A and B are shown apart, each in its own frame.
Chain A
Amino acid sequence: MNGGADLGGMMGFGPVVEEQDEPNFHEDWEARVLGITVALGACGQWNLDQSRHARETMPTAQYLNASYYEIWLHGITKLLHTHEMIDAQELSSGTARLPVKDNCNSLRPEDVDRVLMAGGPVNRPIKDEALFAVGQRVRTINEHPLAHTRLPRYARDKTGTVTFIHGFHVFPDSNAKGEGEQPTWLYKVSFDATTLWGESGSGGKVQAGDKVHLDLWQPYLVAL
């Protein structure tokens, strides 16, 4: 979706400012939001792509004004509501009211290390032949879905070159809708910076040879 999260190429946010000796968390609640988000993920009620989509559907103006962990808090709160694990009344009263889902086994402290170290690979067994080969010129589709996509606005309807084939990966667009993983080929596609941004770029600093690489699934691409 063309929401607040799709930021590539926007202007007017000012310079990137680094905080010296920045802590991982500025406030206790930020640490709790990170931990709760990861712990709830292990509960298996939603997948990574649904989690991302819950964050990016924060109203655009709100998203642009929120801090990172506020966006995460918005995301988990929304998912918990959608999955009827909590409701507004419970949150305001602090008392459980809805029936408890019996298919969520909470992550136990003794399992945290194993679960974090195992991660969650998204490559899947290969089911068909790749449509594109390394070196092939491709064009990205020009679609603006309301739903989740990982093809950013700035790279739509652009011509690039397949420079690597990563493998057969879960397709976020379907996975975020709860329509299954529908794994497909994932390619590294390389674009000349001038193709994306014109000859001068934003600051007149684009040089020949500058590139932007994106990892794109087969349904995002058409042969030239």
Chain B
Amino acid sequence: MTDKPTGAQPHQADHTDSHSHLTDIDARVRALESLLSEKGYIDSAAVDAIVQTYEKKIGPLNGAQVVAKAWTDNKFNQWLNEDPTAAIHSLGYTSRQGEHMVAVFNSASVHHLVVCTLCSCYPWSVLGLPPAWYKSAPYRSKAVIDPRGVLNDFGVELGANTSVEVHDSTAEIRYLVVPERPANSDHLSERELATLVTRNSMIGTALLAPVEGRS
């Protein structure tokens, strides 16, 4: 965390680049937390623990483990397809915003992309907290009407024969994209494969690069 003004969402740079605005909001949040603690509605140590959980414990590494296992274990792959919530929970990833999971599998013919146009629903249990772009107006507005344009914003160009399927997370079902396994990765173990799986590839805004050094 820094004290410099940041455009928390790219389209709002003009708005948030105001030091006084940040100082003001920081003071407001401090006052609110102090008042709520005084009234016994929250315990600041619990707030710390929640923040630390998402800073240290729950993040995209969880999802990467799910994906790597799906690539290397046919039985798990099938389970993930048929009963995704149970399959993911079996690895210990049970937490909130992951109560009802669906896994969608990218292939040469279909590319999946996940969005929440109405707010910012995101599979916290497997990917952690969403990045600012996922919650931003540019992504939420464009992903459903121009998914290929969104992919281009991320430098991704799909093949001419690949169709795009967008999942708008309107209910409490959370989506995990299982990206295509990188080319030249046959020799890698599940653990090694997990290190290659990026967060964006599990949202659908990235493809995984072929593994270098082998052909």
Contact = CB atoms under 8 A, between A and B. Distances in A.
B28 interface: yes
A19 B30 contact: no
Interface size class of B (residues with CB under 8 A): 35 or more
A195 to B, nearest CB: 12
B84 to A, nearest CB: 11
Interface size class of A (residues with CB under 8 A): 35 or more
Interface in A103-120: 104, 106-109, 111-113, 116-120
Nearest to A107: B46
B188 interface: no
Contacts, number: 296
A201 B166 CA distance: 14
B9 A116 contact: no
A73 B22 CA distance: 13
Given A22-B131, A106-B42, A108-B43, A29 B29 contact: yes
B164 interface: yes
A24 B170 contact: no
A215 B47 contact: no
A26 to B, nearest CB: 4
26 contacts: A8-B168, A9-B145, A13-B141, A16-B154, A18-B131, A22-B132, A29-B22, A29-B26, A32-B33, A34-B129, A35-B51, A39-B43, A43-B42, A68-B8, A68-B120, A73-B25, A86-B32, A91-B35, A96-B39, A101-B41, A120-B99, A169-B171, A196-B145, A202-B149, A205-B149, A213-B168
Interface of A: 5-11, 13-19, 22-36, 38-40, 43, 48, 52, 55-56, 64-70, 73, 76-77, 80, 85-86, 90-91, 94, 96, 100-101, 104, 106-109, 111-113, 116-123, 150-152, 154-155, 166, 169-170, 172, 186, 188, 193, 196-197, 201-203, 205, 207-217
